[in-house]
C-alpha cells in the first residue's frame, strides 16, 4: 500500500518507537554498558573498564554455573521434547479437531496460573515429609529425597515449558499435509517409520522452535533451580540475583546477563538456521 | 495402543495440572505442613491473608499495575498491528522487532536491565516503573491478537470509506476500530492477566511498592506457609476469569467469522 508519511501514519508509529526506546532498548543497552562500569566505595562509577569482566571470567564458580545452566536447560528442552511427543502425536492424529482444540484451550490455563505458586506447590509435593512421600508412605515406601536435587530443578523447568512444547508440537503435527501421511500408509509404512521419514522432517521447524523456547525459558528461570534445586549448584540467573540483591555488585551481574544474552543469541541463531535450512533448499 | 496413548496424554496433562490442584486443595487444609493424608478442612489461611494489611496493599498495587498496563500495552499493540497491516516502509522489520523481541529475552535479564535503567533515570521503586516494564513485556501479546483480527478484514472496506469522503481518522474511528473491538477487548484482558502474574521484573523494580506475586515471593522465601496456597488460589481465580473472558471473546469472533 501507500507509504506516504503524514501525521496519521506517524501517530501509529512514533509512540511505539519512543516508548520502546525508553523502556526496552534503553535498558538493554544500559545493561551492556553497565558491565564495563566499576563500583568504588559502594557507588557505581560510569566508565569503561574491563574490571568486572576480568573478575567474573577468571572465577571458576561462574564457569561451573554456566556449564550447569547449559546442561540443565538443555536437558529440560530434550526431556520436554521427548515427553510431549507421544501425547502431541496422539492429539494430532488420533483425536478429532474438536477434542484437539479443547485440550489446547485447557493447556493454555497453566500460563495464567502463577508459576511461583505452582513451584511452591511442587515444593510441598516433593518435600521430605511432603505429599508424594506421604503417598509413598501409605505403601511403606520412601521417603525419597527429591528436593534440592537436579530432579527437583527439572520438575520445575518442565512445569514451565511442557504445556508450551506440547501445544507447539500438536499444532505442528496437525498442520502437516494429511496426504503425505496417507501416502506413507498406502505404501505400507509402519507408524514408527512414518514418524521417522515423514512427520519428523515435515515438522522439523516446529519441533526445533518448540525445543528452543523450552531452552530459553529454562535457561532464564531462577525459580525452579532456587526453590526446587536449592541453588545447589547455582545457575546463571541465581548468580544475577545474588550479585544484585546481596552484593550490590551490579556491574558483575551485568556481566552474567551479557554472557547469558550472547549464549542465547548464538543458540537461538543456530537453532533457527537449522530449523529452516531444509525448507529453503526444497 | 490408543488406550495406552490416551493414558499417557492423561499422565502428561496430570503432571501439568498436579501443582495447581494440590495448591487449591491445601489452601483448605488445616495442617501447618501440607502432606497426605489430608487433615481437616479450614478457611484459616484465607482469614489470615484477608486480615493482613500487606496483602491488601499488594493486591491494590497489582490491580493498579495490571489495570494501567493492559490499557497502554493494548494501545501500543494496536498501533503496531495497524502499522504492520497498512504500511510497508524501510526498516519495518526493525520496527516490528523492537516491539516483538521482549518475550525472547529472559525475564531475569530484563529485570536487571530495568532496575539499573530506572535507578539511572530516577524512576526507581515506583508503581509507574512496574507499569512501564510490564507494558514492554505484554505489548507483543496485544499486537499478536489484534494483528490476527486485522488479517481478517476486507482491505477494501477502509478504502471504500476514504472514497466516500471519510478522512483517514474517520475511517479509523468508524471502520477499523469497530472491526477490531473484540480483539481489543480480548487483548485488554489477556495483557492484564499476564501482568497480574509477573513477578521477576516486579520483584527487581518494585522497591517498597510490592505487587501480589512479589508478596508471595517474599513469603515463600521465609518458610513453608500455606497462606501461599490461599493467595495462589485467589490469584488463579482472578487470572482465569480474565483469560476465560478473553478466550470467549476470541471464540465468539471465530464463530462469527465462520458463519
User: Among partner residues A3, A117, A137, which is closest to B23 by beta-carbon distance?
Assistant: A117
Domain residue ranges in chain A: 59-281
Domain boundaries, chain B: 1-42, 54-258
Q: Tell me the mean pLDDT in the region A148-169.
A: 93
CB contact under 8 A, B87 and A3: yes
What ipTM is given for this predicted complex? Answer: 0.87
Chain A residues with CB under 8 Å of B26 CB are 121, 124
CB contact under 8 A, A216 and B75: no
Q: Taking the domain A59-281, which CATH number applies?
A: 1.10.3720.10
Mark out the alpha helices in chain A (DSSP H runs). Answer: 7-20, 26-34, 51-57, 60-93, 97-108, 115-126, 131-138, 150-174, 178-186, 191-194, 200-202, 204-220, 223, 236-241, 250-281
Give B255 to chain A, closest Cα distance, Å.
13
What local confidence, expressed as pLDDT, does residue B253 receive?
66
Looking at the partner chain, which of A27, A162, A268 has a beta carbon nearest the beta carbon of B117?
A: A27
Rounded to the nearest angstrom, the minimum Cα separation between B113 and chain A is 5
Helical ranges in chain B per DSSP H: 2-26, 44-50, 53-86, 92-100, 107-120, 127-150, 155-163, 168-171, 177-197, 200-205, 212-222, 227-258
Place of cell 508424594: A132
pTM for the structure as a whole: 0.88
In this model, does residue B36 exceed pLDDT 70? no
pLDDT in tens, B206-243: 888 889 888 888 888 767 777 888 888 888 887 778 77
Q: Is the pLDDT of residue A165 over 90?
A: yes
- Is the distance from CB of B240 to CB of B190 less than 8 angstroms? no
Q: Which of B117, B217, B224 sits opposite A124 (nearest CB)?
A: B224
Q: Tens digit of pLDDT for each residue in B40-91?
A: 787 888 888 888 888 899 999 999 999 999 999 999 999 999 999 988 888 8
Instruction: Round the average pLDDT of chain B to a whole number and report it.
Output: 86
B144 grid coordinates: 499478536
Instruction: Check CB contact of B4 with chain A, cutoff 8 Å.
Output: no
The verdict on B228 touching A (C-beta cutoff 8 Å) is yes
Q: Are A126 and A155 in contact (CB under 8 A)?
A: yes
In this structure, whether the domain defined by B54-258 belongs to CATH 3.90.1150.10 is answered with: no
Alpha carbons A112 and A12: distance in angstroms, whole number: 30
Amino acid at each position: 500500500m501507500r507509504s506516504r508519511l503524514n501525521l496519521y501514519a506517524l501517530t501509529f508509529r512514533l509512540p511505539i518507537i519512543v516508548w520502546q526506546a525508553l523502556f526496552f532498548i534503553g535498558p538493554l543497552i544500559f545493561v551492556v554498558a553497565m558491565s564495563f562500569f566499576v563500583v568504588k566505595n559502594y557507588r557505581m562509577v560510569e566508565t569503561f573498564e574491563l574490571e568486572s569482566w576480568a573478575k567474573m571470567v577468571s572465577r571458576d564458580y561462574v564457569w561451573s554455573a554456566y556449564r550447569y545452566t547449559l546442561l540443565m536447560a538443555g536437558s529440560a528442552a530434550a526431556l520436554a521434547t521427548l515427553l510431549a511427543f507421544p501425547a502431541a502425536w496422539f492429539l494430532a492424529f488420533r483425536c478429532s479437531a474438536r477434542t484437539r482444540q479443547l485440550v489446547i484451550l485447557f493447556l493454555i490455563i497453566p500460563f495464567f496460573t502463577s508459576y511461583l505458586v505452582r513451584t511452591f506447590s511442587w515444593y510441598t509435593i516433593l518435600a521430605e515429609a511432603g505429599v508424594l512421600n506421604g503417598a509413598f508412605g501409605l505403601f511403606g515406601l520412601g521417603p525419597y529425597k527429591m528436593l534440592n536435587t537436579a530432579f527437583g530443578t527439572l520438575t520445575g523447568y518442565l512445569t514451565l515449558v511442557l504445556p508450551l512444547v506440547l501445544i507447539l508440537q500438536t499444532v505442528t503435527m496437525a498442520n502437516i499435509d494429511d496426504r503425505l501421511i496417507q501416502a506413507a500408509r498406502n505404501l505400507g509404512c509402519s507408524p514408527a517409520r512414518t514418524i521417522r521419514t515423514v512427520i519428523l522432517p515435515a515438522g522439523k521447524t516446529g519441533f526445533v522452535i518448540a525445543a528452543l523456547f523450552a531452552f530459553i525459558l529454562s535457561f532464564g528461570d531462577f525459580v525452579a533451580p532456587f526453590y526446587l534445586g536449592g541453588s545447589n549448584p547455582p545457575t546463571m540467573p541465581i548468580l544475577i540475583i545474588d550479585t544484585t540483591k546481596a552484593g550490590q555488585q551490579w556491574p558483575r551481574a551485568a556481566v552474567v546477563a551479557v554472557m547469558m544474552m550472547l549464549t542465547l543469541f548464538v543458540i537461538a541463531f543456530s537453532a533457527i538456521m537449522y530449523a529452516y535450512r531444509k525448507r529453503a533448499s526444497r | 495402543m490408543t488406550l495406552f496413548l490416551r493414558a499417557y496424554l492423561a499422565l502428561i496433562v496430570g503432571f501439568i495440572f498436579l501443582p495447581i490442584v494440590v495448591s487449591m486443595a491445601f489452601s483448605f487444609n488445616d495442617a501447618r505442613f501440607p502432606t497426605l493424608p489430608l487433615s481437616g478442612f479450614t478457611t484459616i489461611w484465607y482469614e489470615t491473608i484477608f486480615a493482613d494489611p500487606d496483602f491488601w496493599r499488594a493486591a491494590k498495587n497489582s490491580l493498579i499495575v495490571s489495570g494501567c498496563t493492559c490499557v497502554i500495552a493494548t494501545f501500543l499493540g494496536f498501533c503496531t498491528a495497524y502499522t504492520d497491516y497498512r504500511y510497508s516502509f524501510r526498516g519495518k522489520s526493525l520496527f516490528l522487532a523492537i516491539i516483538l523481541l521482549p518475550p525472547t529475552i529472559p525475564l531475569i535479564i530484563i529485570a536487571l536491565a530495568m532496575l539499573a535503567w530506572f535507578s539511572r533515570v530516577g524512576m526507581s521503586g515506583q508503581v509507574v516503573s512496574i507499569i512501564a516494564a510490564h507494558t514492554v513485556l505484554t505489548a507483543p501479546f496485544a499486537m499478536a491478537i489484534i494483528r490476527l483480527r486485522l488479517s481478517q478484514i476486507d482491505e477494501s472496506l477502509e478504502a471504500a470509506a476514504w472514497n466516500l469522503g471519510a478522512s483517514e481518522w474517520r475511517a479509523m474511528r468508524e471502520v477499523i476500530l469497530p472491526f477490531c473491538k473484540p480483539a481489543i477487548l480480548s487483548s485488554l484482558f489477556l495483557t492484564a492477566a499476564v501482568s497480574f502474574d509477573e513477578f521477576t521484573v516486579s520483584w527487581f523494580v518494585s522497591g517498597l511498592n510490592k505487587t501480589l506475586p512479589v508478596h508471595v515471593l517474599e513469603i515463600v522465601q521465609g518458610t513453608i506457609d500455606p497462606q501461599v496456597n490461599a493467595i495462589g488460589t485467589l490469584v488463579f481465580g482472578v487470572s482465569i476469569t480474565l483469560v476465560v473472558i478473553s478466550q470467549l471473546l476470541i471464540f465468539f469472533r471465530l464463530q462469527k467469522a465462520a458463519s
